[in-house]
Amino acid sequence: MPPRDPQDDAPVLRFLEYLEAERNASPRTVEAYARSLAQFRVWMQGRFTAWVQCTAADFRGWLYEALEQELKPATIRLRFASLRSFYTYLMRREGLAVNPLESVTLPKASQRLPIHLSLRQMEQLLSLPLQLPADKKSPAWLPYRDAAILELFYACGMRLSELVSLNADALRDGDDCVRVLGKGRKVRLVPVGEYAREAVARYREMAGVTGSEPLFISRLGRRMSGRSVELMLDKYLRVSDIPFHISPHKLRHTFATHLLDAGADLRAVQELLGHTSLSTTQIYTHVTKARMKEVYLQAHPRADWGEEE
């Protein structure tokens, strides 16, 4: 259960229940929204009387303080996404007449191009688990588990939370698709290439995971956590030639970018990633255009475009 509001606020609790029951929001989303609402209540301290009494000036004050503290834009936008969703709920379900957030303008989010690996870097990373000397204290199947995780990340572009929640029967022998439980608890089928299928099958046989058991397990036989996967990836990055740090999510970026580089349809990539909006997927087209321009500038004898405006 997400952390409760400091004063056990009934409208907030009803809103969180609404997110879980009607919007099928993930536990992580519910927890993040609950935390943002609680943080605002704490910031208001003795000035808070009721949510319907909060004004645009209150929310601007919270925004200005966040900007002065130089919080990350993503953190600020998450805070206010929680508040906007909550006030929309109050207007639709609890009779609030005026939304005080309508006149609060957030700074524009800077659009960063997703970091991704080149094909050579990705191939090196995929090969490392079975190339490094095996740890004699670890189960024999552990390097094969790591290889299967990396292959499946690259083959399917899954989120970290989606990968660690997989059970062994999500990809059975002979299947060419994996059933992924995504955001909003929506199930999608994602094709799996031969390399990833073989890697998963080899690991499953060695580790003896079957049926509804967790697919990826720790040395103690428990479902791997997202943090365990991050640490596993860090281990291989340290011995690779990759000159920058990447998270498991960057493997998702790599999956999408490589597909688009090879001419995949944007709508198809949207479905594979489980994006609700096409605009979320379109960020990857900027990556491929940037690479195309870089290649052009390096290769064409009359490609000096000068300074960009």
Q: Is 84 a catalytic residue?
A: no
Q: Is 275 a catalytic residue?
A: yes
Going from the C-alpha of 166 to that of each of 145, 169, 180, 211, 215, the distances in angstroms are 13, 8, 7, 11, 6
Q: Which of 33, 203, 236, 284 is catalytic?
A: 284
Cα 138 to chain centroid, rounded? 30
Q: Which of 79, 116, 159, 204 is catalytic?
A: 159
Q: Which of 35, 84, 275, 291 is catalytic?
A: 275
Six token digits for residue 28: 């992580």
**Helical segments of 166-282, H only:** 194-207, 226-238, 248-261, 266-273, 278-281
Q: Which of 14, 23, 35, 183 is catalytic?
A: 183
CA distance 189 to 191: 7
Q: Is 159 a catalytic residue?
A: yes
Six token digits for residue 51: 């949510």
Give, in degrees to the nearest 5, the angle at Cα 266 between 264 and 272.
85
The CB density around residue 233, as the number of other CB atoms within 10 Å, is: 22
Nearest residue to 189 (alpha-carbon basis) of 274, 258, 267: 274
Task: Judge whether 39 and 79 are in contact, CB under 8 Å.
Answer: yes
Q: Which of 116, 204, 252, 258 is catalytic?
A: 252
Task: Give bridge partners of residue 4 from the DSSP assignment.
Answer: none
Q: Which of 23, 35, 223, 249 is catalytic?
A: 249
Q: Is 183 a catalytic residue?
A: yes
Active site residues: 159, 183, 249, 252, 275, 284
